[in-house]
Amino acid sequence: MKEGNGNHDATTHAGMYYVELLLVGLIWGCTYAMMALGLTLVYGLLRVLHVAQATVFTLGAYIGLLAANHTGSLIAAFVTGALAAGALGPLIYRFVYQPILDRPPFVALVASIGVLVAMEDGFRLLFGPYGLSFEDNVWFTTTYAVAGMTVNLVQIWMVVAAVLLLSAFAVFATRTRAGVAWRATVSDPPMAESFGVSVVGVRYTSFLIASVLAGVAGVLVGLLNNLVEPGMGGVIAYKGLAIIVLGGLGSVPGTLAASLVLGVVESYGTVFLDKLLDRDAIAFLFLIVVLMVRPQGLLGGR
Amino acid sequence: MRTLAPSLLTRPFQGEGRGGGEGTDRHDKEEVTMAIHRAVKSASTTLAAAALGIALAAPASGQSIRIGFHAPLTGFAAADGKSALNGAELAVAQVNAAGGVNGRKIELVVQDDQAKADQAVPLANKYIGEGLKIVVSGSYSGPTRAAAGVFQKAQVPYISAYAIHPDITRAGDYVFRTSFMGEVQGRAAAKFVGEMMKKRKVTLVTLNNDFGQSLSAGFKEVAGKFGIQIASEYSYAMGDRQFGSIVASVKRDDPEMLYVSGYFFNGGPLVAQLRAGGVTAPILGTEGFDTHNFIKIAGQAADGVMITTSLDRDSKSPETRKFIDDYEKKFGTPVDMVAASTHTAIKVAAAALAKAGGEDPAKIRGAIAATRGFQVATGRISFNALGEVYKAAQIQVIRDGRFRHQATIDDPQLLAPPTK
């Protein structure tokens, strides 16, 4: 942008402004999608609202950041962040959810919230209260000008990672034996088991997939904010719940659509409704409005 | 400067915890989740508070004078709580090294308020029950505001180090504040932008809590007087770290300068995103950015960012120099505004104890109220009839990753705090 207040190409700019807001919203939507897909998987399988996914997200971000600052490589950040997250998720399943699976779902929800709250202070004790930043966040400072808009490499990677990982998941779910077994387990666990599907194996796989997605999202959000902090998962966890409800609980396409729509609504909302409502309030107001009109969610059938 | 809404209910949806800072109940709640969340949280905090109470309320050594000090040592504001405690501990160490107060050592009785208003009242009663005669708040507006009334009623002098809410000192004549009120700091910012930077077209980006809104209100109140025209204003929430929409809007508005409020954890990402998005206009921030963490987060983008604050890193005053040098030696981290503010408040308390010559609360109160031109880490301070402070405002600029002196605004008329 030029210095001062010249009204250079003002008209193109005005039009591009709305496009840029749309783009911003879609990028946010990709973050939400990576988080919400995992929540949907777990909900579909266990009927558990996996709030502690935010803990997995935050751990991924911390480990990724430490790896990046240690090795100087952002690729290392993604690998280690995904590994750490991928390890933590199944552990949470094994030690938190599995022992109480025969209880009503709210018991698991309480346990999940307990993990989230405890680990928020756990991260604070482990990594300090101030939050940590990347020493050399080259992706953030590498920017591209496209038609008057500026995007940085992290934003591009956010979209690329979301598309790649979610496509990989789609291929897995529809084209592989394991995927078919997984879908069978979601719709009818006893039947799937009688056909020799390992229900337990499917559960671990689901937590693994959900957690790797969350870990990658955590590193990306850490890079976008250049800040990894103990409470960074909180907002996204609760919003993730809103998204899976919006998407029509358990529906993968619905969840993805809801993620993108919510990102865009927030993007416009933060500019045009900012005097009335803050961003999170916009998100939940949108949820309420949608549920009043379409109780089954955005894409829900029924 | 900090605030915290008393409503616990709003907290979880703002996630982050820091979200607890917005004075709003607008969030729609999922009752069940919230109730559970609250139950878990309060059980764990009760335990933590009990443990801490036992650890910290150990019997006082007979001779020393005890000063109550509460700060958010855990919870979302723990980062500031840590700086707050560091600043206070340094002040105590310096006072004791210089011979103490009237031949007696001083010591802190520390409690954790988690930056929550509901923790503050029991905590205040505990101090009063233990017979403490002076208490300093190293916390945000929520708990400080709640405790102020309790201390006023018990006639125990109470000093707020950096909480900004106007109602704090209105609790009565036993309550004082050593930091700028938001409006005062906002007025200083307007003078700097209009008169010194000579910028006319300004965009405000405001954090939508007491802190951000009072800063912007002060700025707007006198903007016209300094020839400033507000081109646009955007606001954001405490939990926000992503500002793509605001960046796009600022680019469209193309202002000559930006006035941005918030804390380092909002401001760092915001400034970085503005610069990465191609916004080159100068940025003036607030004392919420006054910590090295802001520079760590914003990285290169921090360079050239200016802030209004009360700590001048390039000050020649021996009191400020000694604070900066001793702090960095003792804690190995750079000073920040929060540490300087609690350091100031403890120094004011110690000086008042010395002047009062004993532990008579009325005399201590009188001594604080009579403070005029007292040299502390944050400059020369005086109190007015309401217990609000007057001091010069500092404009600092970040150069090569460090805060440096840019300007000092010493304008008693413009920066006069309210008297009622």
- Which H, E and C letters describe B317-340, residue by residue? CHHHHHHHHHHHHHHCCCCCHHHH
Is A297 part of a structural domain of the chain? no
Q: How many domains does chain A have?
A: 2
Query: Looking at chain A, which residue has its C-alpha nearest residue B231?
Result: A5
How do residues B359-390 score in pLDDT, each as one tens digit?
899 999 999 999 999 999 999 999 999 999 99
The closest of B417, B353, B336 to B381, measured between CA atoms, is B417
CA distance B371 to chain A (A): 34
Residue burial B357-388, b: 16+ Cβ < 10 Å; e: rest: eeeebebbbebbbebeebebbbbebebeebbb
Residues 204-223 on A with a CB inside 8 Å of B are 221
For residue B277, give the nearest of A150, A226, A284 by CB distance: A150
In terms of domains, do A144 and A281 share one?
no
- Given a contact cutoff of 8 angstroms between Cβ atoms, the answer to whether B107 and B130 are in contact is no
Domain assignment present for residue A32? The answer is no
pLDDT digits (tens, 9 = 90+) for B234-250: 999 888 999 999 999 99
Do A56 and A138 share a domain, yes or no? Answer: yes
pLDDT of residue A299: 73
pLDDT at A301: 57
Domain that holds residue A281: 249-290
What are the sequence ranges of the domains in chain B? 1-180+311-387, 182-309+393-409
Instruction: Return the CATH number of the domain spanning residue range B182-309+393-409.
Output: 3.40.50.2300
Is there a shared CATH topology between the B1-180+311-387 domain and the B182-309+393-409 domain?
yes
Do A126 and A159 fall within a single domain?
yes
Q: Find the closest chain B residue to A225 by CA distance.
A: B269
Same domain as A116, residue A54? yes
Q: Which residue in the block uniquely carries the two structure tokens 């505004």?
A: B337
Q: In chain B, how many H helices and how many E strands?
A: 13, 15
- Grouping H, G, I as helix, E, B as strand and the rest as coil, residue A97 is helix
Contact B239 A232 (CB under 8 A): no
The list of chain B residues with pLDDT below 50 reads 1-34, 49-61
Question: What pLDDT sits at residue B44?
Answer: 53
Q: Which residues of B touch A23 (CB under 8 A)?
A: 244
CATH H-level, domain B1-180+311-387: superfamily: Response regulator (3.40.50.2300)
Q: Do A5 and B201 touch (CB under 8 A)?
A: yes
- Residues 152-211, chain A, touching B (beta carbon < 8 A): 152
Three-state DSSP class for residue B1: coil
Assigned domain for A7 exists: no
Q: Is B126 on the interface with A (CB under 8 A)?
A: no
The two structure tokens encoding residue B198: 């000579």
Cα–chain center distance at B302: 21
In this structure, the strands spanning B257-260 and B106-112 are: unpaired
Task: State residue B403's pLDDT score.
Answer: 96
CB contacts, 8 Å: B254 with chain A = 1, 4-7
Size of interface A-B (CB pairs under 8 A): 187
One domain for residues A57 and A142: yes
Asked if the interface predicted TM-score (ipTM) of this complex is over 0.90, the answer is no
The three-class DSSP label of residue B67 is strand
A6–B280 C-beta distance less than 8 A: no
A216: in domain? yes
Indicate yes or no: CB of A5 within 8 angstroms of CB of B236: no
Contact (Cβ atoms closer than 8 angstroms) between residue A217 and residue A60:
yes
Six-digit token pair at B63?
Answer: 């001779």
Check: CB of residue A227 under 8 Å from CB of residue A45.
Answer: no
Question: Burial code of A107-124, b = ≥16 C-beta within 10 A, e = fewer?
Answer: ebbbbbbbbbbebbbebb
Q: Are residues A141 and A223 in the same domain?
A: yes
Same domain, A217 and A150: yes
Outline where chain A has alpha helix (H): 10-46, 53-71, 74-92, 105-127, 138-141, 153-175, 177-187, 189-194, 199-225, 233-246, 252-272, 279-293
Q: How far apart are alpha carbons A42 and A26 in whole angstroms?
A: 24
**B257: closest chain A residue by CA:** A4
A21: in domain: no
Residue A28, domain member (yes or no):
no
- The tokens for B351 are 């000086």
Q: Which of residues 110-139 of A touch B (CB under 8 A)?
A: 110, 113-114, 117-118, 120-121, 124, 129-131, 133, 137
Q: What is the mean pLDDT of each run of 10 residues along chain A (302 residues)?
A: 43 76 93 91 88 95 96 95 97 94 89 92 88 91 84 93 91 87 85 87 92 96 94 85 84 89 92 80 84 78 53
Amino acid (one-letter) located at A201: G
Q: Which of residues 33-62 of B touch A (CB under 8 A)?
A: 33, 36-37, 40-41, 44
